[in-house]
Amino acid sequence: MDSTPITQFGAPDAPHCDPETARVGIIPAPLEYSVCYMEGTHNGPQAILDASSQMELYDEELDTCPIEVGVYTHTAVDYTGMDHAAALQATGAAVRKTLAQGQFPFILGGEHSLSAPCIAAVHEKYPDLTVVHIDAHGDLRDTYEGTPLSHASIERRVVDMGIPVLEIGIRSFSPEEAEFLKKEQPNVAVVWAYQMAKGLARIPWERLSKHTYITVDLDAIDPSEMPAVGTPEPGGLSWYQVLDLIREICQRSEVVGMDVVELCPMEGQTRADFLAAKLVYKMLGYRFCSKG
Ligand SMILES: [Mn+2]
């Protein structure tokens, strides 16, 4: 196999990646500061780009090639010499720049803490924003391991920004988060994975506003399908459950930013890299090519 790193999502068939005309700006964000269990998520963005070069670009469900909307992959954010706070600022700056170029920002992580500055940047442009958080974990702790910047606090930071949050697929929640949820219910809704598994979940779609940001932590997906994450949790969503969710969100709201985070590439688990790459592509298809 060619070992040259792929720099454009969906390459080598890349006539779609003209930065002047692309509607989508992919931002590789190899951020890794507060990972607590398995290390390696800084390798996630490149693994997604590499796997994307092996994907078929026709989407049989949508009967089109979503890549044709124009998908330009920016140079990865360079975190050399930065502490965590500076790295988060640099990530937000990359999103602002992409928005200023008129592109739809799609961020590839990297650890989940990067979503907070990305959401903040999108929120500046769309003040009515709602965030849909698809994850195994609530990420609603005020601080974790002594820092408010942790991946385990990302959604709490979003709530602090006054942005409504809809969490889906959750099955790992601390007592502190449960207590918080009871007090802050108007701003945060949680759909538990066990309810979804039993067919008892009702997704409160009425909570979506006109504009939505979707953050997908890959550990939302069951570890049998997505083993390469730092903190796997049993009882996760299936591939098709996640696709159904994304498609429905894209039908019900104008999605204005997305991220896929926490891929932690593992030796011998290339299926995970391919799942992540294909998920990014399916998300772009639902966003730009769904017929309603
Ligand atoms: Mn998670």
The CATH number of the domain holding residue 97 is 3.40.800.10
Mean pLDDT of 205-214: 97
15-18 long-range contacts, CB within 8 A, separation 24+: 16/67, 16/68, 16/69, 16/70, 16/71, 17/70, 17/71, 17/72, 17/73, 18/70, 18/72
Of the candidates 129, 125, 150, 122, the one whose C-alpha atom is nearest the C-alpha of residue 138 is: 150
In a domain, 62, yes or no: yes
User: From the CA of 30, how far away is ligand 1's center (Å)?
Assistant: 17
User: From the CA of 111, how far away is ligand 1's center (Å)?
Assistant: 9
User: From the CA of 221, how far away is ligand 1's center (Å)?
Assistant: 10
User: From the CA of 18, how far away is ligand 1's center (Å)?
Assistant: 34
User: From the CA of 130, how far away is ligand 1's center (Å)?
Assistant: 19
Q: In the prediction, which pLDDT does 129 show? A: 98
The residue type found at 263 is L
Domain interval for residue 56: 24-289
Residues with CB under 5 A from ligand 1 (ion): 135-137, 217, 219
In a domain, 7, yes or no: no
In a domain, 14, yes or no: no
Give burial (CB, 10 Å; 0-12/13-18/19+) of 189. middle
In a domain, 270, yes or no: yes
Whole-structure pTM value:
0.96
Q: In the prediction, which pLDDT does 172 show? A: 97
Q: In the prediction, which pLDDT does 290 show? A: 87
The residue type found at 217 is D
In a domain, 269, yes or no: yes
pLDDT in tens, 159-193: 999 999 999 999 999 999 999 999 867 899 999 99
In a domain, 12, yes or no: no
User: From the CA of 219, how far away is ligand 1's center (Å)?
Assistant: 5
Confidence check: pLDDT of 63 > 70: yes
Confidence check: pLDDT of 1 > 60: no
> Distance (Å, rounded) from C-alpha 120 to C-alpha 110?
17
If one counts the domains in the chain, the total is 1
In a domain, 5, yes or no: no
> SS3 for 7?
coil
pLDDT in tens, 99-153: 999 999 999 999 999 999 999 999 999 999 999 999 999 999 999 999 999 999 9
In a domain, 163, yes or no: yes
> 110 preceded by cis ω (within 30°)?
yes
Q: At what angle do helices 44-52 and 270-289 cross, to 10 degrees?
A: 70
Beta-carbon contacts of residue 35 (< 8 Å; ≥ 6 apart)? 41, 111, 151, 230, 264
Give burial (CB, 10 Å; 0-12/13-18/19+) of 128. exposed
Phi-psi sector, 102: left (phi>0), alpha (psi -120 to 50), beta: left
The residue type found at 91 is T
Q: What order of strands is seen across the sheet that includes strand 165-170?
A: 71-73, 24-29, 104-109, 254-261, 211-217, 130-134, 165-170, 188-192
Indicate the average pLDDT of the chain.
94
